[in-house]
Structures are given as structure tokens and as C-alpha cells.
Amino acid sequence: TELAAPACSLPASLVDILQAIWRDSVARGRRFVCILETCHDCEDHKRTTKHKVEKYQSLAGQVSELVAKEFSFMAVEQLHLSHHYRSKRVPRRLGAFEAYVVAPDGPHNDKSCVISLVHSKLTTLNWPHLVQLQKRIVSALPGIVERILQIRSRNNWSVAESQAVMKEAELWGLARWDALDGLADQVSSANRVLESGQQAAQRQDKEALREAIHECHELQLADDLIGGWMDDLKKKNMALFSIKSQAKRFQRNAFFAAASRVLVGAQEPPLRKAKLQAAIAKAEKAELPEEDIAAAAGLLSSVEDAISRVTTALESRNLLKMACSLDDAEELDIQEDVLNEAQGLLSALAQQSSRAAEQRDLVELQAILGAWQIDDDGDDASSGRTASGPEYQAILKAEKVRDSLKKQVEEAERRFEGQRWDALQKAVERLQDANIQEDLWERWTSALKREKQWSVLHAVSGAAVQLKRQLYTRRLEAVLQAEQVSLTQLEEAADAAETRQVDGNLVAKARAEAAAVRQRWKDAQDAMDKKLVDRADVMVWKIQKSRVCLDEVVRRQGALWDLIDAIQDAEGSKDWQAMRDAISGWKEERPGCEHEACSAEHSATQLFRGAEQRANELQLRELRQAWWLLLLTGVRLVAARVGMTSAALTSSTFEGFIKGADKVLVDFYDRNLDGWAEQKGELERALREVRDYGSKVAFATVDAIAEKDLAQRYVPSGHYPQLLWFTHGEPTQYHRSLRTAKAMTDFVLALDRDPILQVKSQDEAASSFNRAVFGSVPKGSPSYKALEVVAAKHMDTVAVTFRESLENKVIYLDETKGEPVAYAGQLDAVSLDEWVKELLLKSEPIPEGHPVYQDGSLVVVGKTFEEVVSKKDQDVFMLVYAPWCGFSRKFLPVWQSFARAVSQVKHLVVAKMDGDQNSSPLQEDFSWTSYPHIFFVKAGTKKPIVFHGNRTVSHLVQFAEEHGSKPLDLDPSISLDDINEL
């Protein structure tokens, strides 16, 4: 028996049991079996392990369903349910969720088997991810299984190969497999089509032959006969058929490109579980490269793990684990309802416990914190993490007050039980300004009265009622005066104050404020139900502007936020149909309403207003691309097969080659990496395939080891292989790390199109796009080529259009700016690109007296962005934030403390910019889709490093020290712990 990777030490007795279960399965007619070893009888050890039996049962059921659906020839067994396991009495392995695949050692061998461990929770500490588990099961099974799956999914397959594979599969006992049945149907259909086509060729029946070729392409069948039939049709001037075939290929490429955009968009923060799952499913259906999907699957696993850890912490009432898990989730920028709810709960606990601690209210502190497990030092031993958020630190301080009050009460109770009346009197005096349990006050009062301690009795009894009333009065006043308070806290404070007969005016004021918020939310929900976007927007805006926070608004729960997310997701994937579906049924109650809530840039109303026009633009672009490819394919069918090898470029030949071709794909590779030779072969196959489609894009390669300067210039990240797209000698923002010929081919065909759209007039350009560059230039002229370079760089942000004309002028059209803006500079690529970037740049006015510092940070706007990040002798650490973002508001005090900590460091500039009101003029290197976003630029360099660490002062200091041009040389007497307290 062979034990396959991943390596894991298995007891010999366990191996014996696995073999025995397999032999039983063989006797029942199943030669392959998946065996699950799961932690069981968790009730016996749940006090020490916190295991949930439901989790193990649920995952075991999911794995069983996966095997039954995808590998129907394989049996599934639970190890602990087998009589072999019970008779051997093997020691139970706590926390196990191991999955084994046991298969025969050969097609005719039922005597020995191969045991493969395809998942181990004991070694990885992770639950199985079903997509990855399926792939590991395939790799653990005999190679014939993977060959069958490949043929079923491959674009080109042959009948002869499939028949040979089917015979071999029967020898392995795979007859019960759905995939094999599907392959048999596939082969049967292919034989029928080949026979029909052969008969049509013999009869010289062109229509029947065309139909046979069409069916072969539908089956994605590769056979020498088909090539001969196509040659016959080409000789008879029947190229139209090929155009239709290319149209189908274009549709597949469009689906591939859309799936790729969705996958990339799903990995942009904020991360959402459902969005990642949908993107991965679409990517698998479109057959995107496995390495691209694996990255998204890894993020999905991290998101699921974060949600699971927060959920577990909530269930176990472990405050430290919840705080640490929320810190981790914030680093990944995950947005999920359960995380928002947990963060809201943590904030509420911090506010309530701080207020109760300030008022020395032991009763309230017990009610707030009594059910939670709180660790004094804030360090989670299981993860090694420290809860760095201010909420947990506030709760720790409140917990210390609670502990101190509890000790004082316990000491007073001991003195009471020991009848030490003088000592009790002193203890009571220390507790006069605290609120403790009423039964204790009553017991002590009775005792002091009985012992004739009249002076003490007077002090105690006189303070009791008044203290309670003052306490609840102060609590209600604090809630009414707070800058922000939750609706729940406001109502609870009003209820408690009313019970204690606090000032009726204060209670009425609190009730009125709570009722106003409730009514606004009711109006907002009513507007959402009726799909009135502007009215819902105004109601939600009023709630957000008030000091009373509503949990549903903070957590973004409701149809209004679903609308916003759906429109933004559709924009990210450039899916016009999804955008139309998103706004379907919604309308404006008052079209054109100019209320501040409706005119905000990221409001639902603004997104809704632009969605229909944007959907039309996306649909028009897709139709034009399809038309262009069909037209171009008809021309390319007769094009010569030129440039069938890629050019190896060096520093001396690079510039000449790049500028000598309109479009170039350059592969920067590292020959020291594993798989380099295979990747080079894939590139050559991709080149041959794009030539078959008539594309004339030049292919080139650069050895990153031999040409270090070139590689550093164009691939500063050092991640290879890297494919870069050049237009007229200029690099574009389009670059990918691809390793398969299919992925490379799709990438080239998606970009090998004219980035400039020809229109009949300026009015057509203005009506078709909300912003566009319109050129009146001769096609093929230097001015036209300059427009092409600019269009390639800004393909996804602005439409570039032209009309054939000798005027040689360019204007910018933007429906939000009113009159067209004419270009007055030189018509070369560099000057024109700078002009377009300036027009697209969003910027607040430059602050008067620039440079201006605020809270220790240099204030940056869009117009000063490039000046700040391009300093030759200073490092730059810059925060991009949004005032409306809760994460930004939480982080800004930390950033201010960091700025104070390094204020004396002359070579470091600490800066900040409102990313909601300003954009980056350097989109290739500086871009963001979430807040806060932090860039670090080393002195004399142009490429930023993005900060992804813990958002604490000490971690910011460590990052600047590690990546800076010089040491920070901070005061050595100040420790990192001291810095965090700044």
C-alpha cells in the first residue's frame, strides 16, 4: 500500500482498517472508495475542545454529496461507523477531518490498493474547500479518470482517442460513472456526424457537408476528415461559414473576458463571500486558468475562515477572540453582515461599559459584561494575536473597574457576615458613590439600624434612592449629549430613567428623538418596498446625518444597498444585462430632485440615474466589437501566416522592435523558475493559434535574468512570467500572468481590436458616451496613431472616437462639463495623454498656502498628487481615506498619532488625501477601490508599496523602518507599546 502526499503519519492499525473497508467495498462491486475520518462523539470531550458535532456532520454530508455527484463510481464510507474500526479500538484522533481515497493498484488488481490522503485538518488546521478537494481527488485516482475529464472539457478531441480511453476505463471498473456515460454519448454522436459528413463529401452535397462541419464544431471535434472537408468548401468560395464559426469563438472569448473581469472584481476589496463564490463558479464555467481561480479560492477560504471564527467567538461569548477575528477581517477588508453585526456589538459593549465604569455602576457592568469571557492582557494565546482596537481596550478598562467594585462589595459582605460593624461602616462609605445590588444595601441598612449605627444608617439610606436617581439621570444626560449613540442605547436609557422617575422632560426628549428616527426608517423601508430610489435615499441620508445610529443602516441592510452593490458589480464586470436587471422596477418619485442626498457622487440615486445610459454604452461597445471581429475575420481568412515565431529581445533591440509594430505582446520570463520551458511552449502554441485567426500581433520575449534593466523597468514587481501589451511602442496597463496557450490566445484576441471608434459626427460621439475624446484626423496619420496610444491607455475610462477629416483637431466631450474642451497642444502621444489625464483628474482646489498640514499630515489633492509622491530625497507615506467610510473614521486617530510619532523625521513625509473628492493622475501605479488605502513610496522611486498590515502606530512605524531609504532614528527611550498609546 502506498501513502500519497500530503505526507501525514498514520498509525499502522488505521492503515489496516482502511484496507479492510476497501476490500469490503470491492466485494460489493465498488473498486474505489472515499473514506472520511471525522471527529465523533464530540459530547464526550466538548468541555476541552469546543467541538461542534453539527459542523463535522454538515461537512461530511457535503463531501459525500460531492463524491456522489462527480465520482458516482466511488463509494463513501465513514470510518467511525465501520465495524472494523470498532473492533480494532483505534485511539480516537480529536479534531480530525481526514479524507482518504483508496483505489486498486492496477486495472486488474483487487488484492492491493493505494491509499491517498486528499485532505487533513490535523496537519493543515483548515476545513476542506470543496473545489480544491475535488481536484485532489482527481489527482489521487488513476490517470484514466483525469484523461476522461480532459476529453469531456477539451475544445479539440478525437473519436479514436476517446474509444481507447473508454476501453481502458472498463478495465478499471468505471462503468457506473456519469462522465464515462457522457463520453460514450459524445462518441456516438461524433460517429454519426462523421459518417454523415463522409457521405455528403462523396455526393458533393455542399449544404449537407456544411451542416456536418457545423455539427463537428458544435461537438468541438478534431479529426483529419474535417480539415479536408473545410479545404473543399474553401475551394468553392464558402468562407462565410468560417466567419460564422469565428463569431461563435468570439462569443466564447467574450464570456471568458467577462468571467475574468468578474473574478478580478471579486478579489478587489471589500471582499464578499457570495460575490467570490459566484465569480469562481463563472470562472470555472469559462475555463479560466487554474492559477487565476486558485487565488480567488484562497481569498474565499480566508473570508469563510474569518466568518467562521467570528461566529464561533459569538457563540462561545469570547470577547478577545471576537476582537482579534474582527481585526483580521478588517485587514482583509471583508464586508459581511455577521462581521458588521459583531463590530456593532463590540462598539456598543465598549460604549455602554465605559459609561457604566465612569459612573461606577456595578449592576450595569455585570449586566453588560457578565456573560462574556474577557482576558486581562488582550493576547489571544491560540492565535498569538493582540486585540489592537480601541473598543477592546475600553472594555478592558471597564472590566478592571468592575473587578475592583466586585472586590469592594465582597469585602463589605465579609465584614457584614463577621459582624464587624465599624469596618462595615468604612466599606459602605467607600461605596457611597457606586451603584450596587439593592438587596445588599437593604441587608446592610437593616444591620446597621439594628446595631444602633444611626449616623451610618442616615448616610446610607439617604444616599440610596437619591444615588439611583442621579445615576440614571447622568446616564440619560450622557446619551443625550453624545455625538453619536445607537437607537438601542437611547431607548434603553430612556426606559431605565423612566422607571427611576427621572426628570420627565429628559425622558420626553429622548423618546421624541428615538421616535423621529424610527419614523424615518419606516418611511425609508416603505420607499424601498415601492422601489422609489430618491425618496429612500433622502430618508436614509437623514438617518445617517443624525447623531442616532440605526443598526440596519450601519449594516447596510435593505433593498437600497442591494441596488448599489448590484450596479457597482455590473460596472466592475462590464455586464450591461446585469446592470439593467439591477435597476429593473426602480424609479424616481421626483425625477431630477436636487436634494443633497440625491446629488452625492456615490448615492443610490446618482448610480441609478447613470445606470441606464451606462448599460446602453456597454451594450453598444459589445455589439461594435462583435461587428468588428466578424468583418475582420472575413478579411483575415485570406491573410498570410506571417511571423510564426516570437522575437527574443535584448536592450539593444527592444526599442526598435516595439516601435516597429502597431501591437506587440511581450513575455518577460525567468528561466530559473520551474515550468519555464513548458510556458515557452504554450506561448508558441498561442502564437500559432492567433495566426490561425488572422491576427498580426507581434510576439516577443525578454529574458529577465539576462536583461535586468529592461525587466526592472517594465516589471518592477519581479513576478514572472508577465505578459505586457504595447501599442505603437508605448506600454499599456494591460498585463497578465498567464501560463496556458488558451488563456494567452483569449487575452490577445480580446485586445487585438481598434481602440478608436469611428463615428459620423461630433453629435454622435456626444450622444453615445457620457464622456469621450473626439478627433477629426486622417486615418493612419501620426495624429491618428497618437490617438490610438491614448485610447489603449484609457480604454476602460473614456471613449476615444474619430471622424475621417483633414482638420487635425481634438476635443473633449463631457456631459457634466457643458461645452466641449478643445485641445491646443502638439498632437503627439505624450502631450495628448497628459491633456486627457488632466481632464479625467478629479481634484479639490489646491489649499491656500500649499503645502498645508492638518493633524501632522500634508494635505494632498488630485492636482498636487504627482508632486508629492515623486520626491527624490524623501520617503512618502500617504493615506487615502473617505470621510463617509467607517473604517476611515476609525483609523484617522491612529494615523494622527503616527504622524506625531515621526514628526521629527526629516526624510519622511506623512500625507493624506480625501479619495472621495480626488483621484490619482497615475492610475497605472496608484489606484484604489476601497478605503482606507495606504501607499508608501521610497525616495527616488516611482512604484508604491501598498501597506496591508495591522493598522496600529507601531506597525506603521515598523513598515516605514523596513521599506524606507533611511532609518527613522526615533527616540530609543520610547517603546513600540508607548507609541501605540500616543
- In which band, very low, low, confident or very high, does the pLDDT at 386 lie, cut at 50, 70 and 90? low
Query: What mean pLDDT comes out for the span 628-641?
Result: 43
Pairing mode of beta strands 379-380, 74-78? unpaired
Quick one: cell of 663? Answer: 501591437
Q: 879-925 pLDDT, tens per residue?
A: 999 887 777 888 899 999 999 989 889 999 999 999 888 888 887 77
Phi, psi of 939 (to 5 degrees): -55, 130
Strand order in the sheet with 821-822: 757-758, 799-804, 771-777, 809-814, 821-822
Q: Cα separations (Å) of 321 from 311, 367, 950, 955, 981? A: 10, 20, 16, 20, 22
Q: Cα separations (Å) of 50 from 42, 314, 942? A: 9, 13, 50
**Do 576 and 254 form a contact (C-beta atoms < 8 A)?**
no
Query: What mean pLDDT comes out for the span 647-655?
Result: 88
Of the candidates 841, 932, 921, 836, the residue with the CA atom closest to the CA atom of residue 881 = 932
Query: What DSSP designation does 129 have?
Result: P
Quick one: cell of 16? Answer: 489496516
Judged against a pLDDT cut of 50, whether residue 176 lies above it is answered with yes
- The residue behind cell 514572472 is 720
Look at residue 980 in the predicted model and tell me its pLDDT: 52
Judged against a pLDDT cut of 50, whether residue 4 lies above it is answered with no
More confident residue, 702 or 778: 702
Phi, psi of 751 (to 5 degrees): -100, -20
Query: What mean pLDDT comes out for the span 670-679?
Result: 83
- In which band, very low, low, confident or very high, does the pLDDT at 237 lie, cut at 50, 70 and 90? very low
CA 18 – CA 100 distance, rounded (Å) = 9
Stretch (H or E) spanning 693 = none
Stretch (H or E) spanning 727 = strand 722-727
Helix (H, G, I), strand (E, B) or coil at 651: coil
Give the DSSP letter string of 488-516: HHHHHHHHHHHHTT--HHHHHHHHHHHHH
- The residue behind cell 463529401 is 201
Q: Which of 6-15, 160-169, 811-820, 839-848 has the lowest mean pLDDT?
A: 6-15
Q: pTM for the complete prediction?
A: 0.39
Q: Which residues are within 8 A (CB) of 707 and not within 5 positions of it... i.e. 6 or more apart?
A: 649, 650, 651, 654
- The residue behind cell 472520511 is 36
Helix (H, G, I), strand (E, B) or coil at 775: strand
Judged against a pLDDT cut of 80, whether residue 753 lies above it is answered with no
- Partners of 487 in the beta sheet? none
Q: Which residues are within 8 A (CB) of 434 and not within 5 positions of it... i.e. 6 or more apart?
A: 360, 361, 362, 405, 408
CA 386 – CA 396 distance, rounded (Å) = 13
Helix, strand, coil share (%) of the chain residues, nearest 5: 55, 15, 30
Look at residue 252 in the predicted model and tell me its pLDDT: 54
Q: Which residues are within 8 A (CB) of 443 and not within 5 positions of it... i.e. 6 or more apart?
A: 416
Q: 350-359 pLDDT, tens per residue?
A: 888 888 888 7
More confident residue, 237 or 947: 947
Stretch (H or E) spanning 385 = strand 385-386
Cα 257 from chain centre: 19
Cα 272 from chain centre: 6
**Do 752 and 693 form a contact (C-beta atoms < 8 A)?**
no
Q: Which of 264-278, 468-482, 823-837 has the lowest mean pLDDT?
A: 468-482
Strand order in the sheet with 74-78: 2-4, 109-120, 97-106, 32-38, 74-78
Helix (H, G, I), strand (E, B) or coil at 534: helix
Judged against a pLDDT cut of 50, whether residue 657 lies above it is answered with yes
Look at residue 204 in the predicted model and tell me its pLDDT: 74
Judged against a pLDDT cut of 80, whether residue 642 lies above it is answered with no
Look at residue 263 in the predicted model and tell me its pLDDT: 81
Of the candidates 817, 762, 756, the residue with the CA atom closest to the CA atom of residue 789 = 756
**Do 766 and 815 form a contact (C-beta atoms < 8 A)?**
yes
Look at residue 32 in the predicted model and tell me its pLDDT: 92
- How many CA atoms lie less than 13 Å away from 148 in the CB half-sphere? 28
**Do 953 and 900 form a contact (C-beta atoms < 8 A)?**
no
Give the DSSP letter string of 846-890: PPTTSS-EETTEEEE-GGGHHHHHT-SSSEEEEEEE-TT-HHHHH
Look at residue 633 in the predicted model and tell me its pLDDT: 45
Query: What mean pLDDT comes out for the span 371-382?
Result: 65
Quick one: cell of 425? Answer: 461602616
Phi, psi of 497 (to 5 degrees): -65, -40
CA 536 – CA 530 distance, rounded (Å) = 9
- Partners of 667 in the beta sheet? 701, 723
Of the candidates 366, 372, 370, the residue with the CA atom closest to the CA atom of residue 346 = 372
More confident residue, 91 or 821: 821
Judged against a pLDDT cut of 90, whether residue 455 lies above it is answered with no
Helix (H, G, I), strand (E, B) or coil at 501: coil
**Do 857 and 913 form a contact (C-beta atoms < 8 A)?**
no
Judged against a pLDDT cut of 60, whether residue 238 lies above it is answered with no
Q: Which residues are within 8 A (CB) of 973 and not within 5 positions of it... i.e. 6 or more apart?
A: none
- In which band, very low, low, confident or very high, does the pLDDT at 336 lie, cut at 50, 70 and 90? confident
The top-scoring range by mean pLDDT among 28-42, 257-271, 485-499, 626-640 is: 28-42
Give the percent of the chain with pLDDT over 90. 8
Supply the angle between the helices 362-369 and 337-358 in degrees, to the nearest 10.
Answer: 160
Cα 112 from chain centre: 46
Burial of 801 (0-12, 13-18, 19+ CB in 10 A): buried
Q: 826-850 pLDDT, tens per residue?
A: 888 888 888 888 888 888 999 888 8
Largest CA distance in the chain: 126
